[in-house]
């Protein structure tokens, strides 16, 4: 299965990395987060059905699932499976307004 990580998801990962590195001043944790995010993305790419289904009234979000980033369970990878490709839509912390953020997304957009 192929994977595509949207720019917004890459930005989410980098934002969290910078948070640990610059604001919290824990470079080891920042690097662990990068590795864990890659591990979570690899897991959903290899087995798309493992993520918890999410329901939204917007048709564009049909099939959206989420999977926790190991060791950082408040962070979740949001993704959809489309045409033999896993599209990583966002990587978000649970304290954010995830529903509002995802409603603005179009998983098929680059």
pTM of the model: 0.93
pLDDT of residue 27: 98
Query: Which parts of 6-64 are beta strand (E)?
Result: 52-53
pLDDT of residue 104: 87
How does pLDDT run along the chain (110 residues), one tens digit per residue? 899 999 999 999 999 999 999 999 999 999 999 999 999 999 999 999 999 999 888 888 889 999 999 999 999 999 999 889 999 999 999 899 998 999 888 787 77
Among residues 57, 48, 58, 33, the alpha carbon closest in space to that of 78 is found at: 48
Q: How far is residue 86's CA from residue 26's CA, in Å, rounded to a whole number? A: 31
Decide: 89 and 6 in contact? Cβ < 8 Å.
Answer: yes
DSSP 57: S
pLDDT of residue 108: 77
Q: What is the CATH number of domain 2-103?
A: 3.30.2310.20
pLDDT of residue 58: 85
Vertex 11: Cα angle to 9 and 104 (nearest 5): 55
User: Where exactly are the structural domains of the chain?
Assistant: 2-103
Q: How far is residue 1's CA from residue 14's CA, in Å, rounded to a whole number? A: 24
């Amino acid at each position: 299965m192929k994977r595509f990580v949207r720019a917004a998801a890459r930005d989410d990962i980098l934002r969290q990395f910078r948070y640990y590195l610059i604001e919290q001043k824990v470079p080891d944790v920042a690097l662990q987060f990068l590795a864990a995010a890659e591990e979570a993305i690899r897991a959903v790419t290899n087995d798309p059905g493992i993520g918890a289904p999410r329901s939204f009234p917007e048709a564009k979000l049909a099939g959206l699932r989420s999977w926790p980033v190991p060791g950082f369970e408040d962070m979740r990878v949001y993704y959809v499976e489309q045409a033999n490709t896993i599209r990583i839509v966002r990587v978000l912390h649970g304290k954010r307004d995830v529903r509002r953020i995802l409603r603005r997304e179009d998983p098929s957009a680059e």
